[in-house]
Every structure is written in C-alpha cells, then in structure tokens.
Amino acid sequence: MTAKPPTLNLTQLAQQTRAAARHLAVASTAQRNAAVEAIAHALESAAPDILAANAEDCRIAQEDGLAAPLYGRLKLDDAKLDGAIAGVRDVARLADPLGTVQIHRELDAGLVLKRITCPLGVLGVIFESRPDALVQIATLAIKSGNGVILKGGRESVRSCTALTQAIHQGLQSVGMAPAVVQLLTTRAEIQALLALDTEVDLIIPRGSNAFVRYVQEHTHIPVLGHADGICHLYVDQAADVATAIQVAVDAKTQYPSACNTIETLLVHRAIAPRLLPALAAALRSHQVALRGDAPTQQQLAATGMSIALATDEDWRTEYSDLILAIRQVDSLEEAIAHINTYGSRHTEAIITQDDQAALTFMNQVDAAGVFHNCSTRFADGFRYGFGAEVGISTQKMPPRGPVGLEGLITYKYRMTGSGHIAATYSGSAAQPFTHRDL
C-alpha cells in the first residue's frame, strides 16, 4: 500500500474534530438530542438553498455524462430532502447509545467492574453521489458522540457544502462546536484522510465496488462497508405467483441504483411456466431489460418475448440499473448454492408458502439479511427503525447489515477499588474472586 502522507492542514482539521468530539462525548442526552433537532430545523430553513445547489450539481453532472445510477443517487428533490429531515428527527427519538452499563460485576468486596458504552471518536466517511447520506451520517455521529469528517464525490460538492453549512448553523444555535462535523471538498484529500491512522478511528466508504475496494486497500484505519450489492430473489415452487410478481417488481424497480436491489432472480423450474410470462411482462412495463438462461429464454420466446441470453458474468454483476438476470433451478438447494457462490452477503429473499423451505433458506444462505415473502428493499437502517444508517456492512463480524448507532460505539472497562492489588488473588494463599453480578 502506498499512502501519501497527510498535509498539515488536514491533520490539524482532524485534531480539531477530535477535540470537539471529546466535548460532544460528555454532553448530556438532552444536549445531543437538542443538537439533532436544531439540525433538522436548520435543514428545513435552508431547503431552498440546498435544492438550488443540488440542481446545479445535477445540471453539471448531466453535461459531464454522469452514469444514470449515480445521477439517480445525486438528485435531491423535495421528497428526498423531507425524508432525510424526517430521518434526523427519528434519530433524536432513539435511545441514547452512550453510558449503557453492559456489565456490572463485583470481583471482590469493594472491587467493582463495569463495562460502559462510549463513542468511537472520529469517523471518516467517503461517499459518492448521495448528498442525503451526509445528513444521515452527520446526525448519527452527533447522537453517538462522535466527530465526523465527510468527503462527498465531486459531483455533489455544492449540495454537500450547502447541507454542511445548514448543519453548522444548527450546531451553533445550541452552542455546540461546528468542528464536530467537517467537510472535505477535493479529491486529493481522500488519500490524505486515509493516511490519518492516528487521528481517525473508523473509515466508512459508500460507493461503487471499485471505490470501496480502493479505500480498503489504501488505509490502515479499520474500514466498515461492503464492496458489492449482488442481491437475489428466489421464487420457490410453493410460491404464490401474485406475491412473487409484486415483490420482484418492487425489489428491482423501486430504486434500481440502491445496493439492496435484486440483480438476479432465481426461479424453481416447476413454477416457471406459470410465473415467468406474467412476471416478465410486469418487469418490462417498468422498462427492465431481462437476461435469462436458456430455459428462460426459450419459455419467454414461446410467448413472443425475446430476451438476451445470460452468461456466467451476469451472475457476478451488480447492475445498479434496470437490468435483471433470470435463472431457473431444480431445487431449493440449488438456489442456495447459487446464492452462496455468487452473492455478496448483503440481502437475499425467498418467496414461498412453505415455511420449512423458508427456514432452510434463511438458515443456510450466507448473508447479512435473509427475508421471507418481502422485498430486499427493506434492508435499510431507516426501515429497520435505526433512524438512519451510516452504511451497510457485509462482513461477518458485527456490526453487520444496515449500521446505525450501535455500529458507532465501543465500550470501556471501568474498575473501582480501594487499594486492591493483584497479589492478593495469586499464590498458594490466593483470595478467591466473588464474581457477583450486581
């Protein structure tokens, strides 16, 4: 790994963020909630300026030929901004993640151990296109007592600047240091941020596969994130056809560029003749381009519908677009094997009326989210009731799946005694520990 050393200015910025975060970490629940509500109010007041800045970003992005999936993520309209502000207020209503006593144990008389939750410190979050992600992340950082350094893509710099200015105004209105939320605006600062391993405690990348892998390979700082979002929907032989069509259309078309959108549809061969013609027509009505294995291609050709022949590469592809690959399988076991071979451990779903098949699927599929008779689009921190999310993690160690407040905290062991020494509890005359939970 070759990392360019950070500039002095960026090091100082990170140090300012850490200093502000230390004050934030000891602020009361009421103070942090007031800051979050102040941010929501400031975003509402600044909405015209924010939307104007985003419109300019979108105009330039179109002129530069930004890919359609990225453009969809970049665009911030009234509904999207209102949703982001609603998410801010949801975060304020969440339970305080700090100061929770996870262990309270007497080791011996007068010697007491506690394990208590606390902030991580300073987060570095690098994201592409989605300016609303900035709002979610900054709010979760403040609620959890962390400082955050944000770096959006160059295509969203005006939007991110306007959003950060509103957040700073909200923080200042309640007497909180704006330095707890910092915004970087140049590409060169990404490499410098990734080298700040003594100043930044966690990096969260949100963007394309190549981008996330680049971040993972160019920093010594722990990274939370996922590189791929290859999600599947399996329609079992015991599926209700109407349910399968409704869920498949939603999982593919509700937000095609999202990482929890399905890229491959697996269909049990026994239900394919009844399902595929109606499902293909429904997907086509939403402008979805279909690719299928040979049996699927042949069945749809018999109904007058021509689709491209899928290749092995299609099973490995995250389209982030209105494209869906379809494969027929002979069994539940074959569907599970396909998913565990080609999936990215993000979110996988089964449509079936057979509860045992659903249980087998959810037990054997290796993914952060396994769903039964519902859309993969529900894999989202806001929809899970987390208020918002800082990102999705597909790693096996926690946090896993949509990451909210619980992924931004750690814990400390605190011990209180009255002159206790370890020698008392060692040797032939060792005094035993009581190890009594209080």
Positive or negative, the CA dihedral 55, 57, 62, 68 is negative
CA distances for 407 relative to 33, 121, 350, 401, 421, angstroms? 19, 12, 28, 10, 35
Kindly state the tokens that stand for 45. 């007041």
Average pLDDT in the 114-141 region? 94
Angle between helices 157-173 and 47-63 (to 10 degrees): 160
Q: Return the SS3 of 117.
A: strand
Q: Please return the burial class of 422, using the count of CB atoms within 10 Å of its CB with bins 0-12, 13-18 and 19+.
A: exposed
Q: Which fold has domain 8-224+390-412?
A: Aldehyde Dehydrogenase; Chain A, domain 1 (3.40.605)
Kindly state the tokens that stand for 149. 């350094």
The domain ranges of the chain are: 8-224+390-412, 231-378
pLDDT of residue 3: 46
Please give the Cα distance from 167 to 160 (Å, whole number): 10
Kindly state the tokens that stand for 29. 């629940």
Q: Is the peptide bond preceding residue 205 cis, with omega within 30 degrees of 0?
A: no
Find the DSSP H helices in 129-222: 131-143, 157-173, 188-194, 209-217
pLDDT of residue 2: 43
Q: pLDDT digit string (tens) for 163-218?
A: 999 999 999 999 999 999 999 999 889 999 999 999 999 999 987 778 888 898 99
CA atoms within 13 A on the CB side of 235: 30
Q: pLDDT digit string (tens) for 52-106?
A: 999 999 999 999 999 887 888 899 999 999 999 998 999 999 999 999 999 999 9
Find the DSSP H helices in 184-318: 188-194, 209-217, 241-253, 272-284, 294-301, 312-315
How far the first Cα of the chain sits from its last, in Å, is: 48
What is the pTM (predicted TM-score) of this model?
Answer: 0.83
Query: What does the mean pLDDT of the chain come to?
Result: 93
CA distances for 137 relative to 111, 390, 408, 435, angstroms? 39, 5, 10, 40
Q: Is residue 390 very low, low, confident or very high in pLDDT (cuts 50, 70, 90)?
A: confident
**Contact, 106 vs 416, CB < 8 A?**
no
**For the domain 231-378, what is the CATH code?**
3.40.309.10
Site of tokens 């549809």: 265
